Amino acid sequence: MSTVTEETATAWCADPYADALRTGRGPLFLRRTDGWLLPLEVERWCAGADAADLDVLRRCEGAVLDVGCGPGRLVAALAGQGLRALGIDVSEAAVEHTVRVGGQALRRSVFESVPGEGRWDTALLIDGNVGIGGDPRALLRRVSELLAPGGLLIAETVPVDDVDERVHVRVADGRGATGAPFLWARLGTPALLRHARRTGWRPVDQWTAGGRSFVALRNRSADSTSSTAELPNSTAVISSQRARKPSPDRPVLDV
């Protein structure tokens, strides 16, 4: 795992983020080095899926991988509809919350080995998760590797078109507690589309709902179809449980 990814994982695993998820309440912010604060919507994340979320989920296809699933409202909503879904997140508190509300989740970075690589039908980057790692093109390339050929990515963008920034931030609670610094990115829809086209993605839709902005993209197409990813047998896997190399038919977890 790269240094940047290690920094990001450490920041999101530490308080005050974990405390906010365990209580389901903020305030919580991303704090830039110049003091600028981006509010994080902890209460919405810890609630059930809202109308804008459900609009996203209706567009999902097949088996869904929620990258940076947080407290798991989307994974739980998909599971409640009888659909196959797995969340991955570097935060143990996020994984625990996801399992508690009825979803499946692994404590895992997107840049680590993920079960079913190359066979997921849909990937989600919601709630600002296009910012993971602070390098949008690296993230888009990695998500493409996780999806089956022709797979679908649904990403949420900043509802301000001209945003395209990569900055160092810390998680902060506004009361003095802060996490370690890490790189993050913020992208409006035009910026995401630029990065997507340069990394082999094809835009297929964009829309707004509930004051939020979304983009749907397809990765490379293929003449033949691949088998759909299967979920791991275990409900949740903590950081000491890493995936072995998956077989062509099924991912195998070291549990």
- The arithmetic mean of pLDDT across residues 137-163, rounded, is 96
Report whether pLDDT(161) > 90. Answer: no
Report whether pLDDT(176) > 70. Answer: yes
The CATH class, in words, for 50-166+184-237 is alpha beta
Q: Give the global pTM.
A: 0.85
Cβ neighbours of 82 (radius 10 Å):
6
Distance CA 75, CA 46 (A): 12
The encoded tokens of residue 149 equal 């050929």
pLDDT of residue 220: 80
> Are the beta carbons of 249 and 227 closer than 8 angstroms?
yes
- The arithmetic mean of pLDDT across residues 9-31, rounded, is 82
- The arithmetic mean of pLDDT across residues 227-247, rounded, is 45
Distance CA 116, CA 228 (A): 8
Report whether pLDDT(227) > 60. Answer: no
For the stretch 42-92, pLDDT in tens is 999 999 999 999 999 999 999 999 999 999 999 999 999 999 999 999 999
